Amino acid sequence: MSYTRLFPPEKLKKYPHLMVSDVEIWERYLDAHANDWDSFEYDVRVGEGVQVAAEQPEYFKTMARALSEKRIDVVGRSRGEVWIIEVKPSAMLSAVGQLISYQILYEERFPVPGSTELLIVTDRVGPDLENLCKKLRISIAVV
């Protein structure tokens, strides 16, 4: 379990880490799919972050690590499955790289039985994205 907070599958007043353009897309997705989910975590940190010189104060090391860790937009739970979700306006191939990296880092930090699933939530898909995602078994929701 991560150190972020579990939220019910409903709209929030504020979503940790999501940009304004992401929130519009995410809330359209929730309007259509909230009932498919048990819970969500937002701004889930993975990876090591930067290493700071040993002589730096502990508070500085902690802050530097927290600010430089990778941040997953959303981790969703549905019927015992864990999903890593990237919310992205006009999703391009870079979203695939992010998701695959996040999956590896998430599973290293938070071991789960089986593997995690991957989902891109977007308003538009770029060239070749659907074909690539199909081959890599990454789900796409266009809302």
Mean of all residue pLDDT scores within the chain: 92
What would the pLDDT profile of 98-111 be if each residue is shown by its tens digit? 999 999 999 999 99
What would the pLDDT profile of 113-142 be if each residue is shown by its tens digit? 888 999 999 999 988 999 999 999 999 999
Residue (of 35, 11, 14, 18) closest to 86 by Cα position:
18
Q: Would the pLDDT of 29 be above 70?
A: yes
Residue (of 78, 73, 101) closest to 89 by Cα position:
73
Residue (of 88, 109, 1, 99) closest to 46 by Cα position:
109
What would the pLDDT profile of 79-103 be if each residue is shown by its tens digit? 999 999 999 999 999 999 999 999 9
Q: How confident is the model at residue 3 (pLDDT cuts 50, 70, 90)?
A: low
Residue of 59 and 143 predicted with greater confidence: 143
Residue (of 51, 108, 40) closest to 74 by Cα position:
40
Round to whole Å and give the CA distance between 8 and 123: 23
Q: Does pTM surpass 0.85?
A: yes
Six token digits for residue 126: 């770029």
Fold that domain 20-142 belongs to in CATH: Trna Endonuclease; Chain: A, domain 1 (3.40.1350)
Residue (of 100, 97, 83) closest to 126 by Cα position:
97
